[in-house]
Copies of this chain bind each other. A is one copy, B any other.
Amino acid sequence: MAHIPTEVRRQQFIEAAIVVIARVGVDGATTRRIAEEAHAPLATLHYCFQTKENLLWAIFEQLEETVRADLEAKVLDAKTAADISAELLNETIRRAASQPAANRAQLEIWLWAERNDQALARRQYDVYLDAWKGFLRAAEPPLPEDRVETVARVVLGLVDGLNMQLITHGDEELVLREAATATAMLAAYLD
């Protein structure tokens, strides 16, 4: 067998697992199926992660990390809070649509995490929320702090809801149109 660094192996399993989970859910994603998707022996999966739960948390963290990195790398040209919200909304939907497996897997795993370690699941939610709030605080003219929190939450809720519609219909255009409507609402409200 070609020697493959463990870290690379882990990554392969994570990616395979995301694909499988998107297809058959967290519980349907048996270690066998994941190993098969990764073209690796079953025992190797346990050699790398010990337990399925470990693998799931690794996926959970990786998905979170990826989104966070994306968010942090983002430089917004937009200035008003409405523009910022609009840009975040649109980009998030586009991102989700371009990576359907990861998108769906994230929902499945979030639900699983919510059942197995509620605190961690909330923490993940807060990571996004905090990033969102950070962007809104950079708005010009500035948004009063007491509105930053609530606007961020509503926008995040909107993202999740539209994402579910994306999962259901897979129709990116339709959802982007709704995002535009939502954006208009935000603009009307924030002005």
Q: Which residues of A contact B (CB under 8 A)?
A: 23-28, 107-108, 111-112, 114-115, 118, 121-122, 125, 150-151, 153-154, 156-162, 164-165, 167-169, 174, 177-178, 181-182, 184-186, 188-189, 191
- Tell me how far the C-beta of A136 lies from the nearest C-beta in chain B, rounded to whole angstroms: 13
What is the CA–CA distance of A156 and B107 in the complex, to the nearest angstrom? 18
The reply to whether B178 and A154 form a contact with Cβ atoms under 8 Å apart is yes
Copies of this chain per assembly: 4
CA A125 to CA B115, docked complex, whole Å = 24
Whether A157 and B158, one on each chain, are in contact in the complex, defined by CB atoms closer than 8 angstroms, is: yes
**Cα–Cα, bound, A160→B168 (Å):** 12
For A154, the chain B residues whose CB sits under 8 A away are: 158, 178, 181-182, 185
Chain B residue numbers with a CB within 8 Å of A107 are 111
Cα A24 to Cα B26 in complex, Å, equals 12
User: What are 12 sample pairs from A and B whose C-beta atoms fall under 8 A apart?
Assistant: A27-B27, A122-B168, A154-B178, A156-B161, A157-B164, A157-B165, A157-B182, A158-B158, A158-B161, A160-B165, A185-B185, A188-B188
Partner among B108, B153, B174, B178 whose Cβ is within 8 Å of the Cβ of A165: B153
Shortest beta-carbon distance from A174 to chain B in Å: 8
